[in-house]
Amino acid sequence: MRIFIFFIIGLISSHSIGQSLFHNNGSSLSERWLIQNDSTKLFKITPYKPVYILFANYTTAINNLPSSDNPLNRVATPTEFLDTELKFQLSFKSRAIKNLFGDKVGGDLWIGYTQSSRWQLYSANISRPFRETNYEPELMLVFHTPYQLFGFNAVLSGIGINHESNGRSNPFSRSWNRVVLQFGWERPSWSIVLRPWWRIPEDRIEDNNPDIQDYVGRTELLTVFSKGKHDVSILAKHSLRGGRKNRGSVRLDYAFQLLDNLQIQAQIFHGYGENLIDYNHKQTTFGLGISLIQWQ
């Protein structure tokens, strides 16, 4: 438990660090992507995806025996994990180049990084292992595209390269690369981000998860509502296929401000692909903890 205590101390310390790193970066979509702010220095760390820790994240179906359509990635021996674990996520982005195509056309080049972990902290009998950690670096080219749609103001359009993997060897290795489009709209208290993607094909023998897009999806839609001390977000993903391939997921997050950036966080997930090792595993999870950063 000493590891857990040090982890909590580190998290509390990160509250003050997060205040200095992310202070005055705003909460709207346009503020987060510096659409109307040319004074921010390049390579300054800014918020991206939520930063949180769920002290208890319960699943209705823990994945003790991960599988894949690739025989090299089928686990032969099950591990008896507990159905409650600790989950946390870190995420940031930074603008590397401003107005890549000149002042008239614009185009900002962003670097992003997200890391999320599922820690079997309460499984003392198996030495409290990290069940899964996902690493997600991104390179994004973002343009300001001002127009109106159904009462929403368009904020950005973009295209990027996304790599996501769990950094493990076979049979546990999972990874994929995508070309991702991004479109964002906002109005007071609301923001919507649509992200369709195309998976970059891999050699069948080397593909850890050949059918991942039929489970995790080919697009996602993020809807965020922020009012006062309350933040609510829904992230929905879908395979864009029918029949037996009609799959996806939905995640609901609620956060309530306690002190400055510190919020209490509740999360519900249902579907496939809660993380990479569970990409083809269906489950429902319920998590409770605290957060420092929410969606834009």
Cα 152–155–156 angle (5° rounding)?
135
Is 230 marked active-site?
no
Tokens of 133: 């950690």
Q: In whole angstroms, what is the distance from residue 219 CA to residue 226 CA?
A: 23
Does 168 count as an annotated binding residue? yes
How far is CA 185 from each of CA 155, 195, 219, 226, 293, rounded to the nearest angstrom?
5, 12, 16, 14, 20
Amino acid at 62: I
Q: Indicate which residue of 15, 144, 163, 238 is catalytic.
A: 163
Q: Indicate which residue of 123, 144, 165, 270 is catalytic.
A: 165
Is 165 marked active-site?
yes
Q: In whole angstroms, what is the distance from residue 224 CA to residue 268 CA?
A: 15
- Beta strands 45-46 and 148-149 are unpaired
The alpha carbon of residue 257 and the mean position of all alpha carbons in its chain are separated, in whole angstroms, by: 21
Helices (H), the chain: 2-22, 29-32, 102-105
Tokens of 172: 């546990």
- Annotated binding-site members: 127, 168, 173
Residues with a known catalytic role:
163, 165
Q: What residues are designated binding site for Ca(2+)?
A: 127, 168, 173
